[in-house]
Amino acid sequence: MTENKRYIEFPIEKLIKPQQDDREYKLITLENELDVLLINDKDTDIASASLSVNVGYLNDPEDLPGLAHFCEHLLFMGTEKYPKENEYSEYLSSHGGGSNAYTSAELTNYYFYVDSNHLEGALDRFSQFFISPLFDDSCTERELNAINSENDKNLQVDEWRQEQLKKLLYREGHPIKKFGTGNLETLKTIPESKGINTREELLKFYNKYYSSNIMKLVVYGKEPLDILCEMAVRMFYNVKNIHAVPTKFPPDTILREGLNKVLFYKPVKDMRNIDLLFPFKDDVEHYLTKPGHYLSHLIGHESEGSIFYHLKEKGWAQALYAGSMRECRGIAFFSITIELTEQGYEHYKDVITVIFQYFEMLKQQGSQKWIFDECKTLDDISFQFKEKSKPVRTANVLSKDMLLYPKEHIIAGPSLYFEYKKELIEEFTNNLNADNFVLIVSSKNGNEDIKFDELEWKKERYYGSDYSIRDIDNEFLKKLKNIELNPDLHLPTVNPFVPKDFSVEKILKEDPYPKLITDNSNLRIWFKRDDTFFVPKLNVFFEIRSPIAKCSPLNYMYTAMYLQLVKEALNKESYYAEIADTKFNIKVSNEGNININVQGYSDVIGNLLSIITNYLLDFKFKTEEFDNVKDKFIRTLKNFSMENPYKQALHYAHYISSESIFSVDEKLEALKQLTYENLKSFIPLLLNQIYIEGLIHGNCNKETAEKLGNIFIEKIKPLPYPESLIKSSLRSLYLKKGFHGIYKTKALNPNNVNSSIQYSLQIGDIDDQDLRVKSYIVRQLMNEPCFDKLRTKEQLGYIVFSGLFTRPRIIELYIIVQSEYGPDYLEYKVEEFLNEFKETIKTIDDEEFRKNKESVITKLLEKPKNLASQTATFLKGVEAKNYDFDRDKRDSEYVKKITKKEIIEFYEKYVDVKSPERKKLSIHISSKGKDNDLVKEKQNEINSILNNNIIIEDVYSFRRNQNFGPSPVSYKPIDEYKY
């Protein structure tokens, strides 16, 4: 190691990184034992940093559940050097950035991103959290409320409930049983009753665990490594080193007498799942061989001979997920989750039997070197051609991985197989046995074997979940211990989708945007050859329009059913492509179009497209497959009622504002009418007359793109598509000037304590550059103050955000809040903020205004970091039907011309509560709501606001009686885009 008086440098040539990676790295250890990874990306326009501390909620004191999470929250509330509590977020926001943090079982992670010209200022503010945080007493109460709101939003979410229920199966006294989020009861009410001062305990916690020797820092910027190094040393050398020792938690999570239990859970949503959990060794400790990955590759496989394929053929399963689930260092579980059909739920013991039959097959065959080698080859390919991700993602992941892997493997460790160890893999396999598992059954109802009314039901303490625990039936366990082989279960075959040709022609820069290579009565294909990233990959997108798919909710659901059946039938072949990093998706869009997305290696993508086409055209399905997919669709749509209220508000707003989409209720009603025979009659009509618009982007030439673009048309041979239908029918609601309306509806889940509001202001035509750019600037100016006012200071709820919706020919400014307060009060609070913010804009100084305009420009000109993100920017123009590929570039120039006076005038016309011209629509999702003194004091003001609004009772009749605007138009004449 190279030594410097302020740090020790790791020999960087030992660091394994992808061959595609052109960034420079430097890895140093400061005098205070803080490890720092510096990343120079000379082309980046966004900088980032992330710091992970090796302490999490497993370190919470027994009598203060959630303290580590509370520490994470309060750390943001000012430091000695920067005492203003929103200084950090304000600085980031005004320089095109943002931040976040999270607390897990064994680590707490903090991260930010910012315009690359402002890394130094952001990093200095960030560093102070770990040197001199204030933990201001005045913020304590508010952040306790924030944590409580964060917990409230999860109370009716099955994933959070199940995670806590699993802890009931773990042995008493083990830290893994802890409740990590915390709430007002655990952090305030109970501690106060015991004479415990939470803030004082927080200070003890911070001083005990926040030590530089168990921290890992990543700094990502455009500056040369020496400058990044100087910054990191200067700003972080003062972080205190108290020589903390990372806690090693005991591996015995479930004692022998705790195994072979079954936990029954009544979920919030309608589901029929079984989960098998096997106490397991930590795969990270054996990352060179990755035995857990090897097993999840086989157990989670979906081709012929796999568990899932066999269960699906039986009509018992709709999905299967398997993998090693790491809790913390030294503690893991192997988890298998199966989503069951109605018939599969009745046969749940037979489903479990099939799983154990597969285990027995694995044990008898032993670990297979050819399978390990294939996994190794696929991961080697994926790693070598791994592209850049967003800097914040890179920094965030690496700071966490620095805690887990040796220095030379912090990049490659999670991704690569290094050495084959037959005995180790077989040791892991042998842990999958009938003496070493617990079972979780999640369903709203019992079955022939599970008599719900005979079970002793209890309520879980933190989430209120209904559960019951009992022993697994002894006779069934004996059967599992003496399992026989199933001839239908076998290992997968050699993967036919492993790419072999990685050649890439490094061409000179061409036109920066897609060009039309085909344009006729059935087909329009856009093509852009990659001249930036030079990876052997290709992205293909097709939008297939059929006039009958979108003409009614019934036809829409027939189309959705058909595509889902095709996708599931394809799975036995496409799964091989998926694990070889060539993936596809096929679905019906909100507007009723058939969308097909394929991303992967250019060497094999044509083969996958051919297979997809063959299945679309020549596909036979059974009655039970139809019934199972229909059942899955019905449950998914019904489960919408259990979503968080803010998501319901988003749905209603989208439905009201878009002419060509159907509501959840309309889709559900249509599903009831679907029949097997009618679907078979519908399919030939669906593809009889179609129009395809596609985008092909990546590693191929024009001739190959033309061939791929024609693949569907050549096989389908549809009738010509009328030109009148080619023009997009996407249209958005046009509100009249001065319209103020509120759509009120009840929250569909009576057990959810939260209400929600989506407050939207319709600005105007998105094709109007002046309106569009001024909207961008107002959004930027409003973003941080809105969060600071409504969430941090007012404590309305954990979910508070603002932004812009860009719909066809419409741009909207919105504010969304989810809260225990009722939506009428939230409406009042949003308008109070808008009134205050009008004064804020007027008093903002010229320098602050300039910085915020720069932030808008930074976001508009942010470079795509990889091929997929560049494809997404092109696809935005294709899907919007304006083909305005260089809009952001033009807008960035226009931003420079806008004055503060113009923004004030814009705000007063389109946003100001008192403006006679503004157009406002709110969605109110109401639960019981808080009815406290705050609400009562403001009741007159609330009533005054409500009286100035039209109250919409019937969303369907309101929508029918509204005007919808014009369809999108091409930015330039179509002929000008031709190749």
Confidence band, pLDDT 50/70/90 cuts, at residue 932: confident
For residue 728, what pLDDT is reported?
Answer: 67
Phi and psi angles of residue 832, each rounded to the nearest 5 degrees, phi first:
-60, -45
Q: What span, in angstroms and rounded, lies between the C-alpha atoms of 488 and 368?
A: 19
Q: 733-964: what fold?
A: Cytochrome Bc1 Complex; Chain A, domain 1 (3.30.830)
Using the 8-state DSSP alphabet, how is residue 220 labeled?
E
Read off the tokens for 502.
Answer: 């990685």
Q: How many residues does the chain have?
A: 979
Three-state SS for 500-527 is CCCCCCCCCCCCCCCEEEEECCCEEEEE
For residue 928, what pLDDT is reported?
Answer: 76
Is the pLDDT at 178 greater than 90, yes or no?
yes
Name the packing angle between helices 887-895 and 769-787 (round to 10°). 70
Confidence band, pLDDT 50/70/90 cuts, at residue 619: confident
- CA 575, 578, 582, 584 dihedral sign is positive
Confidence band, pLDDT 50/70/90 cuts, at residue 3: low
Confidence band, pLDDT 50/70/90 cuts, at residue 651: very high
What DSSP assignment string belongs to 398-450? Answer: HHHHTTTS-GGGTTTTTT------HHHHHHHHHTSSTTS-EEEEEESS--SS-
What average pLDDT does the segment 241-262 reach? 95
Confidence band, pLDDT 50/70/90 cuts, at residue 4: low
The per-residue pLDDT for range 862-898, each reduced to its tens digit, is 999 999 999 999 999 999 999 999 999 999 999 999 9
Domain with CATH 3.30.830.10 in the chain: 2-151+182-236, 256-390+407-481, 515-726, 733-964
Name the packing angle between helices 887-895 and 846-860 (round to 10°). 170
Largest CA distance in the chain: 81
For residue 549, what pLDDT is reported?
Answer: 93
What average pLDDT does the segment 288-315 reach? 97
The per-residue pLDDT for range 186-227, each reduced to its tens digit, is 999 999 999 999 999 999 999 999 999 999 999 999 999 999
The per-residue pLDDT for range 831-866, each reduced to its tens digit, is 999 999 999 999 999 999 999 999 999 999 999 999
For residue 1, what pLDDT is reported?
Answer: 52
Domain range 256-390+407-481, CATH architecture: 2-Layer Sandwich (3.30)
Strand 215-221 and strand 317-328: pairing?
Answer: unpaired
CATH, domain range 2-151+182-236: 3.30.830.10
Closest C-alpha to 115, from 100, 127, 98, 129: 98
Cβ atoms 697, 527 nearer than 8 A = yes
Burial class (CB in 10 A: 0-12, 13-18, 19+), 131: middle
Q: Is 976 a catalytic residue?
A: no
For residue 930, what pLDDT is reported?
Answer: 73
Burial class (CB in 10 A: 0-12, 13-18, 19+), 198: buried
The residues with which 691 forms a beta bridge, in sequence order, are 545
Q: What span, in angstroms and rounded, lies between the C-alpha atoms of 917 and 909?
A: 6
Cβ atoms 659, 731 nearer than 8 A = yes
Strand 583-588 and strand 98-103: pairing?
Answer: unpaired
Strands (E) across 704-748 are located at 733-734, 740-746
What average pLDDT does the segment 547-568 reach? 95
Cβ atoms 784, 90 nearer than 8 A = yes
For residue 724, what pLDDT is reported?
Answer: 81
Confidence band, pLDDT 50/70/90 cuts, at residue 508: confident
What average pLDDT does the segment 952-976 reach? 92
What average pLDDT does the segment 916-941 reach? 89
SS3 757: strand
Using the 8-state DSSP alphabet, how is residue 792 labeled?
I
What average pLDDT does the segment 533-561 reach? 96
| Average pLDDT of the residues of the chain | 95
- Count of other CB atoms within 10 angstroms of residue 402: 24
For residue 68, what pLDDT is reported?
Answer: 98
Q: What span, in angstroms and rounded, lies between the C-alpha atoms of 625 and 680?
A: 13
CA 156 from chain center: how many Å? 19
Q: What span, in angstroms and rounded, lies between the C-alpha atoms of 33 and 244?
A: 11
Least confident of 8-17, 316-325, 920-929: 920-929
CA atoms within 13 A on the CB side of 961: 6
Through-space distance between the first and last CA atoms of the chain, rounded to whole angstroms: 55
Choosing from 31, 72, 831, 905, the catalytic residue is 72
Cβ atoms 394, 48 nearer than 8 A = yes
What average pLDDT does the segment 420-448 reach? 97
Q: Which residues contact 105 (CB under 8 A, 6 or more apart)?
A: 56, 57, 58, 176, 180, 327, 328
What average pLDDT does the segment 270-291 reach? 97
Q: What span, in angstroms and rounded, lies between the C-alpha atoms of 446 and 858?
A: 56
CATH 3.30.830.10 fits 515-726, yes or no: yes
User: Which run of H or E residues covers position 111?
Assistant: strand 108-115
**For residue 488, which amino acid is it?**
D
For residue 933, what pLDDT is reported?
Answer: 78
SS3 929: coil
